[in-house]
Structure 1
Amino acid sequence: MTAPPTHDWRIVIIDDSPDDRSEIRRLLLRGSIDRRYIFSDAQTGAAGVDAVLASPEKPDCVVLDFNLPDMDALDVLKTLAGADGLPVCPVVVLTGGTGAEIGRLVLRAGAQDYIAKDGLTPLAFTRIVENAVERLAMARELFGRNAALTLSEKALSEADRRKNDFIATLAHELRNPLAPIASGLHVVRLTTDLAKLPGLVNIMERQLSQITRLIDDLLDISRITSGKVLLRLQRILVDVVIEEAAEAATPLVQSAQQTLNVILPQQPLWLEADPARLVQMIGNLLSNSAKYSENGSNITLSARAEGAEVVIEVTDTGLGIPEHMLGQVFDMFTQINHTLDRSQGGLGIGLALVKQLVEMHGGRIVAASPGSGLGSTFSLRLPMSVAPQNTFIDPLSSDPLLSPSRRILVVDDNVDAATMLAMMLGLSGHMVRAAYSGEEALAVGVEFLPEIVFLDIGLPGMNGYETARQFRASPLLKAAVLIALTGWGGKADRCRSTEAGFDAHLTKPVEFATIDALLRRFKDTGSDCGNVTLVVS
């Protein structure tokens, strides 16, 4: 049963016969006593097209005679076709006969139905008009779904292309730093000139930092996507963060003979933010500007208050961003230009990472550029915080002096990793022993009585968790500070290490400055400062 009408139906009748037009009105009025109609007549195809298109509100249906003095129904249907190929309103064609060929032609041309004039009944004709309205509505819905599917297919195709580009770029970016590391190790093995070693070590350290940065970006994106990143919010002074980020970016800027100008705010500005993540965001923006700027160009890092927000901006005079790319620069795996001769490369995830991190802080990032070759500006906008009542202590700074000498046990089944960490700790003045399994760690521990133990989790046989439990159960070893050293840094991994008795959790690879800073936290033997969770990023 047809639902009650919600408005009067507007019907345009295009027919050169006055009698036929009158009959059409009579049939519709008798066929639907509940519906009210507003009729418009036209005697020619041109007049009928004008009547349909002139009004901003299209008629509910057009009843169209096939043969007209100036054109036939096929010409009228062609004129009434919209951008989607469908007529702008439902059309029912009346013919002088029931020829199937005419029916196929008008349906192919866009009509919703056709019917012979002879033998029409009020009920049949009314249902034909109502069905025509419903058919066009369904056709438009189907067209919209097909269009959405086409867009989805294009989006999937573009995502697949970006994924393939990303994999190729990842392979390229990892090979680049691995080559000088391999060459440097070969030179170290062959050279007898010890004066060359510091330079070689510096080169290999820079390349290792590049690999670490790539891996960290990948892990951060994965953690954010899966909701595993926890912000450690603190009240921080913007000046401190700006200076830390500028200092970290200086080597990259200097290598391209670029100039970094730092403009600090005139008054103290405070943020409630994760200091390490904020430095990471600014560092990614500086790295992006350096990558897309030519040698000798200028980069400016500044901060200012704007209303209730702190605005941190990175402006460069480099490649710029085409207008059509402004909305895409924060998408995953997007790179503006792969052909810049002095490009530092990258995976195309740095800006996507910045966007996700700043949104986690309740802020936003905006990209602006006058156009290609005219530089760009990236603006981090974060909610301003009030100044704290107590004296601020810089959470990013650390005492440059090494921690006091301690007895330290390093436990790792990777002999090279254990040897290198033990060597670094020994050169820093600590008494160090190494063990390569859980069982060996317990045996060495009883003899050595370490104050601090760096303990790998993935040990063969007795894993790091069980080894930690054995340390805690031993009267001679239970007071040692246990520091997990592992490649797993998820929330569940950190919780499990805490349950096993660890005092801290470090995620490989770890810079020695981070290890030394952690050692200074444990000034006295024992876990007096609770579980210290450090994820190096």
Structure 2
Amino acid sequence: MSKQSDLDFSTILATSAHDMKNSLFMLLQSIEHLDLADNLTPKQHQAFADLHYQTSRINGSLMQLLALYRDEKNQLPIYIEENSVAEMLQEVLDRNRIYLNSHHVKVVVDVDEDLTAYFDQDLITYLIGDIFINALRHTKKNVILRAFIDKEYVNIQVEDDGDGYPEHMLAINQNAESQFNAGKGRSGLGLLFAKKIASEHKTKQLQGHILLENKNESDGSIFTLRLP
């Protein structure tokens, strides 16, 4: 039997996802260039912002699928080094600048400029970026990006004032991977990706993890990435 006929469907899907991701990256760049035109109306700017946002979501989902596939095959490269948390959060904002410029969402960044942590720059930026994109989708008015040291962990949080996480997603705090499914428009793929990537950041005693919670005093949810 030839190697081609031995190719399983997951490999075909991963290869196709990689090609689509490259095309989407070029599309994102084109949208960004088009949005720079000085003859666009506010409505047209918002249309480009929405198009950029949805394209970013698809691009992110494909990246997550590829990362999970590579993790399953033990082929996911992890490059952990000391990075600035503030610069990482700024990169997340910059990638979504078109959307933020056209929508009335207030974003507050609360982080010490000197705070550093050991993490894979690309993977963690994608991880927080995906959570941020979903927060923009579900929030009512405000999103907070926050980072701080808590004992032996660096905590990176994304907080919104939306309707909160459904119960089946909160089950991730009890390691209930079987609970991942769609609910209230929120897919579990991004959280599964976040959990896998967080767990790859570890020391001899500690392992990275994520926490989900809904705010008690008001509407909204808080996502927390904890890195050792």
* Length-normalised TM-score, structure 2: 0.66
Q: Provide the C-alpha distance between the structure 2 equivalents of 1:250 and 1:348, rounded to a whole number of angstroms.
A: 25
Q: 1:300 aligns with which of 144, 149, 157?
A: 144
Distance in 2, Cα, partners of 1:336 & 1:249: 24
Secondary structure of the residue aligned to 1:378 is strand
Is 1:229 the equivalent of 2:69?
A: no
Please tell me whether residue 374 in structure 1 is matched to residue 214 in structure 2: no
Note if 1:364 corresponds to 2:204: no
SS of the residue aligned with 2:211? strand
**Mapping of residues 39-54 of structure 1, within 5 Å:** none
How far is 1:291 from its partner? Answer: 2.1
The AA in structure 2 aligned to 1:228 is: Q
Contact 2:60-2:126 at 8 Å conserved across structures: no
What letter corresponds to residue 351 of structure 1 in structure 2? L
The question of 1:311 aligning with 2:158 is answered no
CA 1:281–1:316: 2 relative to 1, 3 Å: same
User: In the alignment, which residue of structure 1 is the partner of 2:129?
Assistant: 283
State how 1:20-39 maps to structure 2 within 5 Å. Answer: none
Which entry has the higher C-alpha Rg, 1 or 2?
1
Match among 171, 182, 204 for residue 327 of structure 1: 171
Work out which of the residue numbers 120, 124, 133 in structure 2 matches 1:274: 120
Paired residue total: 180
Cα deviation for residue 271 of structure 1 reads 1.7
* Shift of residue 323, structure 1, vs aligned partner: 4.5
From the superposition, tell whether residues 270 and 352 of structure 1 become closer, same or farther in structure 2 (CA, over 3 Å): same
Structure 2 residue aligned with 1:247 = 94
- Partner-residue secondary structure (3-state), 1:326: helix
Q: Secondary structure at the match of 2:96?
A: helix
> Structure 1: which 5+ runs fail to align?
1-173, 182-194, 339-345, 384-537
Give the superposed CA RMSD. Answer: 3.4
Gaps of 5+ in 2: 1-19, 28-38, 203-207
Contact conserved, 1:284 with 1:354, CA < 8 A, in 2?
Answer: no
Residue equivalent to 2:85: 238
Deviation per residue, 1:191-236 (Å, 9 max, x gap): xxxx78xx79x67973654443332222122122222111112221
Contact 1:321/1:371 (CA < 8 Å) preserved in 2? no
Cα gap change, 1:204 to 1:288, in 2 (>3 Å):
closer
Deviations 1:287-314 (A, max 9, x none): 12122223xx100001111122111111
* Aligned mates of 1:253, 1:204 — CA distance in 2: 10
Contact 1:252/1:290 (8 A) holds in 2: no
Shift of 1:240: 1.3
CA distance in 2, matches of 1:380, 1:287: 15
Assess if the C-alpha contact under 8 Å between 1:303 and 1:312 holds in 2. yes
1:262 corresponds to which letter in structure 2? V
The residue aligned with 1:128 is none
Counterparts of 1:306 and 1:373, CA distance in 2: 24
> Which structure carries more relative contact order (alpha carbon 8 Å, separation 6+)?
2
2:106 aligns with one of 259, 273, 279: 259
* Equivalent position of 1:509 in the other structure: none
- Pair 336,347 (structure 1): closer, same or farther in 2 beyond 3 Å: closer
- Give TM-score scaled by structure 1 length: 0.30
Amino acid at match of 1:381: R
Pair 1:350–1:253, CA change in 2 (3 A): farther
Q: What is the distance in 2 between the residues matched to 1:372 and 1:264? A: 23
CA distance in 2: counterparts of 1:321 and 1:211, whole angstroms:
21
Structure 2 distance, partners of 1:350, 1:255, is 25
Q: Structure 1 residues 349, 252: CA separation in 2 closer, same or farther (over 3 Å shift)?
A: farther
Counterpart residue identity of residue 131, structure 2: L
Q: Could you tell me how far apart the structure 1 residues matched to 2:50 and 2:116 are? A: 38
1:368, distance to aligned residue in structure 2 (A): 0.9
Preserved contact between residue 321 and residue 372 of structure 1 (Cα < 8 Å): no
- Looking at structure 2, the residues matched to 230 and 373 of structure 1 have their Cα atoms a distance apart, in angstroms, of 40
8 Å contact from structure 1 (residues 261, 299) kept in 2 = yes
